[in-house]
Amino acid sequence: MATHILLNTGAKMPVLGLGTWKSPPGKVTEAVKAAIDVGYRHIDCAYVYQNENEVGEGIQQKIKEGLVKREDLFIASKLWCTFHEKSMVKQACQQTLSDLKLDYLDLYLIHWPMGFKAGSDLFPLDDRGLAVPDNTCFLDTWEGMEELVDAGMVKAIGVSNFNHEQIETLLKKPGLKYQPANNQVECHPYLTQEKLLDYCRSKGISVTAYSPLGSPDRPWAKPEDPSLLEDPKIKAIAKKHKKTAAQVLLRFQIQRGIIAIPKSITPQRIEENFKVFDFDLDGEDIKNILSFNRNWRGCPMHWGVEHKDYPFNIEY
């Protein structure tokens, strides 16, 4: 089973990475170290997670120990919505590089297609609790991203939470210099994303699944929300393969050619999530899991619903 996906840049991206959203600063350094120890070579970060400094500590300690070299690692990060002005993209990326203590990123994504009002507030909201937009267009932001490639700060650029129409708009941009290498979106058995996956594939764009375990620790979870890890149908498939529900959920993505980035700060779970290369789900399992789709989003970004570039108003 392939452990990497070839990007349209020719670079290899590991199909399994450590997610770091909601990993508290006091614990994420140890999580990164534990992940590298058990074999992870892909770490997924973002400025808005506000823990890149500590992620960088973990990476640096493992490089200093001689366990890995920088070029063995695949480090991804994301441009936050308040830095969508073309002139602000470089400084945002420089801040991330400085926090991570790196001189380049393997992949840098536009975190959301929506630009928010610039300033120190990462979530500028109006009195109705909705995001305050800036007047940018992601096509201009993309030009700022392309400049990072030319400056050697990033090896590849991509998008996150873009729908297929937004990607199409980007691909048709006059003077496009670099195509997006990746689209990172929420994806799991309750949101299987088959149409978006097919679209991205047809354009040579790889797909990364965030919240592949359903993001049970998302801050806005409600008691009545469905729980993937507790789903009896997933548990039954796990029992059949003598694996855990989490391992089945990750294997499901990897077998579909999707990169998965489960988040954990527990060494035992970090290790367990990596043990997904020694079994195969059969065609029946995959078909079965795909049938669980209910187009349910754990991360609907409700405060962006009135933004001109809100991505979830169309089917995919």
Residues marked active site are found at 49
In the chain, the amino acid numbered 14 is P
Q: Say if CB 193 and CB 207 are below 8 A apart.
A: yes
C-alpha dihedral, 53 to 57 to 59 to 60, nearest 10°:
120
Task: Tell how strand 157-160 and strand 12-14 pair up.
Answer: unpaired
Residue 85, Cβ density class (10 Å: 0-12 exposed, 13-18 middle, ≥19 buried) = middle
CA distances from 131 to 21, 82, 274 (A): 20, 11, 37
Q: CA neighbours within 13 Å on the CB side: how many for 191?
A: 23
In the chain, the amino acid numbered 27 is K
Query: Does residue 39 come out as left (phi exceeding 0), alpha (psi in the -120 to 50 range) or beta?
Result: left
Q: Say if CB 256 and CB 193 are below 8 A apart.
A: no
Q: Say if CB 258 and CB 207 are below 8 A apart.
A: yes
- Polymer length in residues for the chain: 316
CA distances from 139 to 81, 96, 113, 166, 291 (A): 14, 22, 9, 10, 36
CA distances from 59 to 43, 130, 261, 293 (A): 9, 36, 17, 36
Q: Say if CB 75 and CB 129 are below 8 A apart.
A: no
In the chain, the amino acid numbered 218 is R
